[in-house]
Structure 1
Amino acid sequence: MEKKRMTVLRKNAIALLIIFAVQIAWASPIDELVKRVKSDIDRGNYDLAMTQTDSALAITPSDFKLIRLKADIFFAQNLSDSALKYYELTLSQKPKDPDALCGAGISAINLNQTTKALDYFTRGTKSGKRKAEFLYGLGLAQMQSGSLAEADVTMRKAIKADPKNPRYHEGWADVNFKKEVWSFAITGYQEAIRLDSTNGQLYNKLARAQFQSRQFNEAIANFKTFLKFVPDDTAAWFDVGRIFLASKNYAEAAYCFTKLTELRPNNGEYWYDLGESYYNLKEYEKCGEALEKAVTMNFKVAESYKMLAKVYQLRKEYYKADSAYTRYENAMGQPQEADYWIDKGKVMINIGKTNPEFLERAIAAFDKAISLDSLNSAALEYAGLVRYYKENYGAAIPYFEKKVALDGDNVSANTLRNLAFCYLKIENYNKSASTLEEAIKLKPDDAAMHQMLGNIYKFRGSPENGLLTKAIDHLKIALKDTTGTIQNGEKCKIKGDIGYCYVILRDCDNAIPYLEQAVVCNPKDEGVNLSMAQAYHLCNRLKDANAYYEKTLEINPKNKLAIEGRARTTIR
C-alpha cells in the first residue's frame, strides 16, 4: 500500500509540474537542452536524460534550470531523497520558483518529511501563482500530518479555485475517507469520476468508501469497474470477495477467491476464504482442498482444522474428522462452545457404530456440551441417544425426560419414541405406552410406533382390561404401512399378532383370516400355528384345529397347550 501511495503522489506531482511549467520559447542552448531532456524523461530515457544534464552542469554548475532539471529526473524515477536535494538547491537560488516548490513539497511528502512539505506548499500559496495547485499540495501535506480538519478546508479552497480539476475533488474525498465521513468521501469520488471517468483508481476508492458505508451493491459495481482497468489488483478482488462473503453471496465470493488463488497461489488467506465460501456452498470436496492448502501455508491453521473437522464429518470421513478435532484442540485448547462438542460427539457416535470404544468418547463430548449449556436441547438428545446405543437404557432416560420437559409443546415424536423404547427396555410398560400415545399424536402415520404400542398392549392385554382391542387397532394401522417402514416379514408377524389378540378375545371369526395368512408366510412359527389351531377350535372346526395342533407339536413336541388341544380335538 505504501508503494502504491508513493506512486500516486508521484503522478500527482508530475501533473502539478506540468501545470506549473511555463510555456516559453527558449532561445538559449540550455533552454534547448531542457526541452530535449524533458522529452527523454517523458519517454522514460532517464540515463540519457541524466547524462546530458550532468554534461551541461559540468560546464555551468550553478545554472538553476539545470539543477531543477536534475531534480526532475530523480523525481520521475521516484528517487525522492535525491530529488528533494536538488529542488532545495534550486530554491536556494530561486526561492519562489513554483516548479521547485511543488517538486520539493511532493518529494518531502514521499519522504514523510511533513514539516518541510507544509513549508514549501505554504510558501507556494503565498507566491500568488497557481493558487489551486498549491492549495491542493498543502491539503495533501496537512492530511499526512493528521490535521484532517485543516486539510478538509484547504481542499475545499482548492476546489473553489478550480472546480473542474478532478484531482482536487479526489483529494477532498481522500481527506474525508480518513475522517471516516463516508458520505462526503463518496460525493467527492463521484464528482471526480464525473470529471474524469478514465481514472480507474477513482472507482476503487469510491468502492471502498461505499463498502464502509455498507452500500454493498454499489461498492461491488464500482470494484468491478475498477477491475476492468486493473484486472490483477488483488486488493480489489479481496475486498469484493469479502463483501460477497459477508452478504452470503457465496458463489460470487468463491469466484473472487478462486481468482485470487490464481493470482497469488501461495497466499494462505485466499485459500482459507475460498474454503469458507465452498463450505457455505456445501461443496465439501473443494472446501477440503482449499482449507488443506491454507494449512500447508500456515494460515489460520487451528481455524482451518475446526472447519475441516466439520467438512470431513459431512463427507462421512469420520476418522479424519476426529483427527482434525484433535489438532484443533491441541492448538487452541478445549473450546467453551456447546455446539463444538455436539458436533464432535456426533463424529464419535458414527465411529462408534463399528468401534464401540468411541461411544465412551461420544458420552464425554455430549456431557461436556451439557456442562457448558445445561439447557441445550440437542446436547440432551444426543447424551440420551449415545447411552441408548450402549443399551444403558436406564441412564438414557433422565436425558430424554429433561429434553421432553425443556421442549414442551415443541417436543418431537422421535424423542418421545426413544424415551418410550427405554421405558420398554426397563419393563416400565405403563410409561412406555403412555409416551408412545403422545408420540403418535404428533406422528399418527408412524407405522413402527403403532406396531410397538400394539405389542405392548398385546403383551399386557386380557379380555377384561380392553387393551387387546387397542392392540388390534394399532397393529392394523401398522399393517397398512405403504412407506416401506414395515417390511414383509414384519407384516407377516403382525398378522399373527392380530390373530392372537382375537383368539384371546375368543373372536374366532376375525382371528382366522389373519392367522390363515400368517401361517402361509411363516409356516414354521410355533405361536402362529398354535393360535391357528386355537382359532379353529373356538369355531368348532375340530379337524382343522387338530391338524394345526399336530403342526405345532412337529415344531415343539413339548408344547403343553398343543398336547392338550390335540387330545380334545381328536375324533375317536
Structure 2
Amino acid sequence: MKIKNYLLSFLFFGMLSFPAQVLAQAEPDDIALAEDAFQDNFYESLKQKGIENYDKAITALEKCLKTQPQNATIYYELGKNYLNLKDYKKAYDFFVQASVLDPKNKWFYVGMYDVCYQTKDYSQAILVVNKLIEFDVKYKEDLTSLYMYTDQYDKALALIKDLDETLGETPQRNAYKQEILKDSKYRVGEKDQLLEAIKKNPKDESKYIALIYLYSESNQEEKAYEVAKKLEKEIPDSEFAQVGLFKFHLNNNDGEKAVLAMNKVLESKKIDSTVKFKILKEFLVFVKNNPQFNTDLDKAIGYFDNENQVALTKEIGKIFYARKNWERAIHYLEIYSKNNPQEIESNIFLLQAYTESSQFDVLAKKASNLIDFFPLQPDFYYYSGLANNQLKNYKKAKEFLEMGMDYLVDNKNLEINFNIQLGEAYNGLGDAKKKEQYFLKADQLLKQKK
C-alpha cells in the first residue's frame, strides 16, 4: 500500500534571518540569508548536501546554529541531513524542534512523516498525518492507508465512507474496502448502509453492485439475486445486474440462462476485467460437471483480448490437467503452446497429457520439435524416448534417452524415468543384460527416495 503521496524535496533560497511569524508558510528554501558568515555557512551546507557529504553539511549547519539558535530552518535542514544519513532519531528530533519554533510550517511535519515512513513507524505516522491534515486535507488519503497498515479497520472504513461521499470513489479505496469486508463482522453494517443508500437513490448503480458482491461473498445468493433483479428493474440496461443473475442461475444449475448472463458481462466495456476473470473461473467449475457447455467456454475465452486469451488457455489447460480431463487439457494447452512455442512448463504439461491419452505419434513429433528449441532440456528427450518406445522404434528411443541423460541435473524422478525407458528400449532391442542394468539402476534410485 502506497502511503507517501505528497512528500516534496526542495532547496532553500532567501533570507534565513527573517522572523518566523513573517515566514509562517514559506518553504525554508525561500528564506533569505542576512549575515555574511551565516550565509557562507548555510550555502556551504547546501553545497555539501548536494554532493552527499552530509557530515560536512551538518558541521556547517551547526555553525549557523551558534549565531541563530532560534532559526527553525536550520533545525529542519539538520533533520534532512540526518535523515539522509539514516540517523532517524536525530532527524526526527530536529524536525520536532523546528516545528516547536514554527508550528505553522507544514514542511517540518512532512519531515517527521518522512522519518515515520522510512522506519515503518505507522502508529506515530498517524499522529503526524492528523497534524498535516490541518494544512492539506489530501493527507486523508494517506491516513486511510495508515489505518490499513495498523489494522484499524473501523477507522479506515469510516474514513473511506467519508472520502467516497465527498471526493468520489477510487480503485485504491475500493480495494481497501473489499479487504476489510472479508471479515464478516464489518459486512452487516455495510449492507445496511447500502440498502439505505439504494432507498435514497434507487438509480445509483454502484450501490447495487457493492450489495450484490457482499451478499455473494457471504453465500446469500437469494438476496444477491433479489438485488440484481431490482437493479435490472430500476436500470433496465444495467450490465452489472447480469453479474448477480449469472451467479443465481449458476447456483440453480440453469446453464442456458447463466451463459446468457455471462456473455453480457464479458461483452461489457464497463465491467472490470477482474470481475470477468472471476466469472469465467466460476463457469469453468460448472463446465466440469456439465461438459455440454464446453463450446460456450471456448466462446467465453474469445471475449478477452489476445494476450489475456492466451494466458487463460494455459491456466484453464492446467485446471483440466489436474482433473485428469486429458482431452480438454490438450485442447487448451495446444492453443497456448502454439502462441508460446518456447515456454517450457506448459509444453511439459502438454507432453504428459499426450502420454496419458496414449497419443504417442503426436507425442513423438512434438517432443522432437521441442528438442530443436531446447537442446539442453532433458524432459523433452525423455518424452521422445518414451514415445518411440511405445511406437516400437527402440533404436531411436535409445538414442534420444542416452543424449538426454547427459543433461540431467539433480532431478531424481526424471532420472528414474530415464532408466526405466532405457530398460524398455534395450528390452525391445533384445539386449537382456543392458535391460537388467537400467531396471536395476531405476530400482536403486527408487529405494534411495524412500
Common topology (TM > 0.5): no
TM-score (norm 2): 0.45
Structure with greater contact order relative to length (CA < 8 Å, sep ≥ 6) = 2
TM-score (norm 1): 0.37
Which of these two proteins has the greater Rg computed from alpha carbons?
1
